[in-house]
Chain A
Amino acid sequence: MKGKAIMTEAPTPYIAEKRTPMESPETLRARIPGWGVDLDPADRPSFPREQPGIQTGAHWDFPERQPESWPREKSIEHAFVTPVFGTSTPPAGVSGAIRKYAYKYSEGRAAHWLLLIAADRVNAWEHHLRSFATLSPDNPVTETGVLSEPARHGLRSRFGSKRADVNHQWIDPIVVGGPWVLAGLGAVAAVRAVARRVAGRT
């Protein structure tokens, strides 16, 4: 009896039937356009998950092979370079060498992915430095789009309501601008060192 009394006092006793009253199907159908039209799994396009024999439009058993313009890097979990592949941005430079090395490891190895991430960072700096020898050098101000802040209400968007991302957004300028500041300081230090050496000779 005591146990039963506790049960009735509990705000949500653990019983077999749920207690929260649900809206009736009629109410839901009236309130929500299309409620229940896909109730039958047979009406759901991805049921069952695999549908052998599905029509795809392919008129080949195995696709004709796209020619390789350069030795295409591939996962060692593949038997061969797939018949079709993307040709954006072939690997080049130091980052390209790192990428090719990364592809010696399978997708199951952390080394594969971490080397690719490292190559991505090297790749960015290769291009930043190269851009300074062109008529369109990288401009971190225009390329980050931060000029949209005033037009897109940067302050009003971030403050005045509870947003969970404000606590880490301050890190972004450091992640993006920090290396540029360090590189700039390094360049200034290098120029000064050269100037001192030249001054010492004269």
Chain B
Amino acid sequence: MRAMVYRGPYKIRVEEKDIPRIEHPNDAIVRVTTGAICGSDLHLYHGMMPDTRVGMTFGHEFVGVVHEVGLSVQNLAVGDRVMVPFNVYCGSCWFCSRGLFSNCHNVNPNATAVGGIYGYSHTCGGYDGGQAEFVRVPFADVGPSKIPDWMDEEDAVLLTDALPTGYFGAQLGDIVEGDTVVVFGAGPVGLFAAKSAWLMGAGRVIVIDHLEYRLEKARSFAHAETYNFAEYDDIVVHLKKATDYLGADVVIDAVGAEADGNFLQQVTGTKMKLQGGSAVALNWAIDSVRKGGTVSVVGAYGPIFSAVKFGDAVNKGLTLRMNQCPVKRQWPRLFEHIRNGYLKPSDIVTHRIPLEHIAEGYHMFSAKLDDCIKPLIVSSAS
């Protein structure tokens, strides 16, 4: 089969690999029909995630058709169209049985601090991902779901991570009616978080980024008030002015490890890999939320220490809430919102790239060229 393969920082190519095989009775092999590049894939691409090995195939956002099932699989059959959450999880451990699917304890021997994620380094379990023609899907009776007949394939692929993560990020904010919500990052997750904040009754939603085309999308897609932090000497002061010098009630960090806005953080975090990430957005979140407010973190960070302004978080009495999203928990409610017309996930898709051209796709997405917001990976045949 053809598969994207990591060759070292900033370098990938498409190679011929063996089709994955059933390795556990509850495995399925899925033929990928549509995948995506996630902003968090860029952390791997840039060599920031420890234990990212040459030869690994990335990709944790994908949908496809069941090609083969293991002996104990009961809920899926060959030929089913399925959407697969980015979480690999067992469904039965202490964490899964409480709904914390992203914190599963039975799928990642390499680390206890994180569950399993497709195509996301050995730190997340060492599973090859879905930027390939086929992918192994463990616990086929637990993670994947059949794609409803009414659902568009591109909406389905965005339901495997980006939309649920944004929706989850808004939930972590514990928004109450009339709250002022600031979202750092106008990428896919930030756009969905902003949109979700309205569903939860926010009175004002402000999105911060430095890319004008993304802020334009935040205005048109997420009905948000927007500010370009590159146009202000100090975006925190600007946000204080805009919120009666109190600060926002809720701030959502939808940026994560490669935040811009501070040269030193960028160089030490993303170029030299000496931090778990550039914590600029997180620090701005801590600074711009009001005292007693809530900071929700759904941006991805590496496991190494990061320079975070923790003292201010303590002194302001903040509630910090964060996690990787337990995707499948979000699906029933998100399906309703899509059917009711409140959400149209695929509105944020800007590019559809054949698998064979994925190296160019990564570069475009990484360098933010061509007004790229969300690139999908389509099978080379299409």
Contacts and interface: CB of A to CB of B under 8 A. Distances in A.
A22 B110 contact: no
Interface in A27-77: 28, 31-39, 41, 43-47, 49-54, 56-64, 66-67, 72-75, 77
B25 to A, nearest CB: 6
A186 interface: no
Chain A interface main SS type: loop
A155 to B, nearest CB: 10
Nearest to B107: A84
A168 B271 contact: yes
B364 A83 contact: no
Contact of A85 (B109, B212, B371): B109
Nearest to A51: B99
Contacts of B360: 145, 147-148, 151-152
Given A43-B333, A73-B110, A84-B139, A22 B363 contact: no
Interface of B: 7-13, 15, 23-26, 47, 50-57, 72, 74-75, 88-92, 96-101, 105-113, 116, 122-123, 125-128, 138-139, 141-142, 168, 171-172, 174, 177-178, 196, 198-201, 203-204, 210-212, 223, 228-231, 243-246, 260-261, 263, 266-267, 270-271, 273, 302-305, 326, 329-330, 332-333, 337, 340-343, 359-364, 367-372
B57 A88 contact: yes
Nearest to B258: A165
A53 B371 contact: no
A142 interface: yes
A132 to B, nearest CB: 13
Contacts of A44: 171, 200, 333
Contacts of B15: 136
Contacts of A85: 107-110, 125-126
Contacts of A202: none
A114 B272 CA distance: 12
A31 B223 contact: yes
Contacts of A67: 23
Contacts of A47: 171
A113 B277 CA distance: 13
Contacts of B362: 145
B109 A12 contact: no
Contacts of B340: 34, 37
Given A57-B141, A82-B107, A172-B10, A157 B53 contact: no
Interface stretch (A1-9, A13-21, A188-196): A13-21
A118 to B, nearest CB: 9
B168 to A, nearest CB: 6
Contact of A138 (B7, B47, B97): B7
A165 B273 CA distance: 17
B53 A89 contact: yes
A55 to B, nearest CB: 9
A45 B330 contact: yes
Nearest to A146: B363
A14 B245 contact: yes
B201 A36 contact: yes
23 contacts: A22-B178, A25-B177, A39-B200, A45-B332, A54-B97, A56-B92, A57-B75, A58-B139, A84-B106, A85-B109, A88-B127, A89-B53, A89-B54, A113-B303, A136-B15, A138-B8, A142-B13, A148-B369, A149-B363, A152-B364, A168-B263, A169-B367, A176-B10
